[in-house]
Structure 1
Amino acid sequence: MSRKPIIAFIGLGNMGIPMARNLVAAGYAVTVWNRTPLTDADLAQHGFVTAATPAEAAAQSGGMVITMVADDAALDAVTLGEQGLLAGLPRGGLHISMSTVSVQIAQAMARAHVASGCRYLAAPVFGRPEAAAAAKLSIVAAGEAADVAQAEPLFNAMGQAHFHVGPNPEQANTVKLAGNFLLMAMLEALGEAFALTAKAGVPARQVLDIVNGALMRSPVYENYGNIAINERFDPPGFKLRLGLKDANLVLAAANAAGVPMPAASLVHDRILGGVARGAGDLDWSVITRLVAEDAGLNHG
């Protein structure tokens, strides 16, 4: 039986930690680096080995590095430069970027990896931290078919499904941004529907049960609807300020592609207003409360 390679995992936030833990559970040795160092107790609890820099983590790997970081700037910082992962990743190694980032940085990363003799695979995920913990993420990959095949055992350890959408990494990031747009638009629409029916005296719970039964059957509406009804905005699964980052990325991608997205502009402004009012560190489902407040409904 062949021994599994050592995996380097960079970025241990709400999503990264459960994803890396699932790799350990699948029998991989995982070397980690995080901007905020883990304590010895954390390392022992999760079964990780720590590295001093992204370059060291990549050098200690068996040729595969996963990044799960917050934004373009973080991906650039952990990948490039003297301490970046490309400085340590062996020639021919594979970098699997699972972050939600822009189309432009995906293209730039692909070029930088080719210049370094390495490979780059974009594989952003759909799913909240609880889905990551349960290894039920859905992973959207784009890159060479051979790279996707090499990453497939890792995807199987972290998720319930994966999709190969094309040979160019930015294709996966475009699909991820389109999906996040649909989620933020759903939250806006759900909030508006709840506000309208609340003014008519119909409880939101009854509305959700009707809509999610008679009109459609969606686990996404069920999950987010329950969060909204119970106002479980803290602790956040996905912060509103990160939703603002994604809304900006959606509009930038739409502008570059020449695609009008008026609904995206509307939701962007809703999210921007929420961040400006101090809700940036709450779960982005707080969009529903922001809609209610604008309708004059008392919450909290």
Structure 2
Amino acid sequence: MPYSRPQTPGRQNPIQVGWIGLGAMGYPMARNLANHRAANLEQQPPLLVWNRSKEKSEKLLRELGDGKVAIAENIVDVATKCDIVLTSLASDEVARSVYKEIAAALQARSLHISAQPPTKNTIFVETSTVSSALVYGHRELDLLISAIPHCHLVTGPVFGPPAMAEKATLIVLLSGDYRSKKEVAYMLVPAIGRRVIDLGGNVEKAPTFKLIGNSLILGSLELIAESYTIAEKSGVGQDLVYECIKELFPAPLWLAYGDKMLHNKFDGSIGFSIDGGVKDATHIRRLSTEHNAPMPAIDSAQHHLLTARALHDAQARTGTTRFPVLDWSALIVGTRVAAGLDGFDTAEVSSIHPH
């Protein structure tokens, strides 16, 4: 933890925390936060949650009970009632839409206060993976929030897939106002993550670093996929490449994704969806263009992601797909097809050169 414990004499307990967005990452993060606060902090109000589809909010309420979770009627409720609001959103467009609605609600509240304006701080923590053209997107979000007295935006994307979100072992990246970061850091670790990395006061830095980190993951997936594919074409076999990974590169990420590719475990509903992979690859390539820093591995990875998604869409139209949503490790389907192999059927791939 890069911060000393916060001293907040101006803030009075209890602290109302809100959460907007209960997707594949947001749901387990919100659940862990609600559980942690209930178990470790006395007399705190339930986590106030909102999601576009109310079913997910209701599911979380059923799972945890009304002592830990309450459902907001709308975004305005969360924006105006909470001291700290965390958002986990699907895309730049959704983030801009949500924060414009938040800003409008806060501006309207300020206009209706006849006496003194509010003096307590409200902190907004944007945890999504958003683009860095997005550099400009975050300036837009920051301007929306910072224009309102006593409101601060902290960018707080996280490293880790849904499985790490479930276990509260994510790595949290924070950039923005120092006092706000200090306060939310102690709320997020260990409730949703195991470590905080401070990227400084520029709100653009955390989302930019998140994209750079994701480029390492995506580049690794591309390298594993290419190695598996040439192993099959040459008759060595991808199973032996996985043995090599276990012996020489036994990193958790390589082991997990190597196993998924080896056994065609492409179920995106329990992993990271290929749509998310295409989105991240697009953001990373835009970042590389902005800074004139070529990233050819990411170029190849995006092509293979798009190929895999197109083939999956074609299967879905004929009712022959095995998975409703593809995991981004399915980019190996693109490398296999490019090499003239069957994309989804490992048995057919391996029969070309039996051991």
Whether these two folds match at TM > 0.5 is yes
- Structure 1 unaligned blocks of 5 or more: none
Alpha-carbon spacing, 1:84–1:15, altered in 2? closer, same or farther (3 Å): farther
Which of 25, 28, 36 pairs up with 1:15? 25
Which of 88, 104, 107 pairs up with 1:68? 88
Name the residue aligned to 2:53.
36
Q: Secondary structure at the match of 2:165?
A: helix
Moved more, 230-239 or 168-177: 230-239
Deviation at 1:284? 0.4
Deviation at 1:166? 1.8
Question: What is the percentage of aligned positions where both structures have the same residue?
Answer: 29
Alpha-carbon spacing, 1:177–1:59, altered in 2? closer, same or farther (3 Å): same
Aligned length: 297
Name the residue aligned to 1:81.
101
Name the residue aligned to 1:247.
281
Name the residue aligned to 1:54.
75
For residue 148 of structure 1, what is the amino acid of its counterpart? K
For residue 63 of structure 2, what is the amino acid of its counterpart? Q
Alpha-carbon spacing, 1:269–1:19, altered in 2? closer, same or farther (3 Å): same
Alpha-carbon spacing, 1:85–1:263, altered in 2? closer, same or farther (3 Å): farther
Which of 282, 285, 290 pairs up with 2:326? 282
Name the residue aligned to 1:127.
160
Distance in 2, matches of 1:45 and 1:200, equals: 51
Q: Is the 8 A contact 1:77 1:84 kept in 2?
A: no
Name the residue aligned to 1:221.
254
Name the residue aligned to 1:295.
339
Pairing 1:143–2:176 present: yes
Which of 248, 255, 265 pairs up with 2:299? 265
Pairing 1:27–2:37 present: yes
Deviation at 1:272? 2.4
For residue 36 of structure 2, what is the amino acid of its counterpart? A
Which of 234, 243, 250 pairs up with 2:267? 234
Distance in 2, matches of 1:293 and 1:155, equals: 43
Q: Secondary structure at the match of 2:54?
A: coil
Deviation at 1:55? 1.6
Alpha-carbon spacing, 1:70–1:86, altered in 2? closer, same or farther (3 Å): farther
Which of 216, 220, 225 pairs up with 1:182? 216
CA RMSD of aligned residues (A): 2.3
1:33-61 deviation per Cα after TM superposition (whole angstroms, max 9, x unaligned) = 10111264542213421112112012222
1:79-130 deviation per Cα after TM superposition (whole angstroms, max 9, x unaligned) = 1137866557966311000000122211211122111121011111111111
Alpha-carbon spacing, 1:45–1:84, altered in 2? closer, same or farther (3 Å): farther
Deviation at 1:179? 1.2
Q: Is the 8 A contact 1:141 1:162 kept in 2?
A: yes
Distance in 1, matches of 2:106 and 2:293, equals: 34
1:255-277 deviation per Cα after TM superposition (whole angstroms, max 9, x unaligned) = 22232223322222222233333
TM-score, normalised with respect to structure 1? 0.91
Distance in 2, matches of 1:213 and 1:266, equals: 27
1:194-209 maps to which residues of 2 (within 5 A)? 194-209=228-243
Distance in 2, matches of 1:192 and 1:180, equals: 18
Deviation at 1:158? 0.2
Distance in 1, matches of 2:33 and 2:328, equals: 28
For residue 70 of structure 1, what is the amino acid of its counterpart? A
Q: Is the 8 A contact 1:240 1:284 kept in 2?
A: yes
Name the residue aligned to 1:105.
137
Q: Secondary structure at the match of 1:162?
A: strand
Pairing 1:114–2:146 present: yes
Q: Is the 8 A contact 2:173 2:206 kept in 1?
A: yes
- Structure 2 unaligned blocks of 5 or more: 1-11, 39-45, 111-117, 314-323, 346-355
For residue 44 of structure 1, what is the amino acid of its counterpart? R
Deviation at 1:140? 1.2
Q: Secondary structure at the match of 1:35?
A: coil
Q: Is the 8 A contact 1:9 1:20 kept in 2?
A: yes
Q: Secondary structure at the match of 1:65?
A: strand
Name the residue aligned to 1:5.
15
Distance in 1, matches of 2:104 and 2:339, equals: 48
Distance in 2, matches of 1:109 and 1:33, equals: 19
For residue 128 of structure 2, what is the amino acid of its counterpart? S
Distance in 1, matches of 2:299 and 2:99, equals: 31
Deviation at 1:203? 3.6
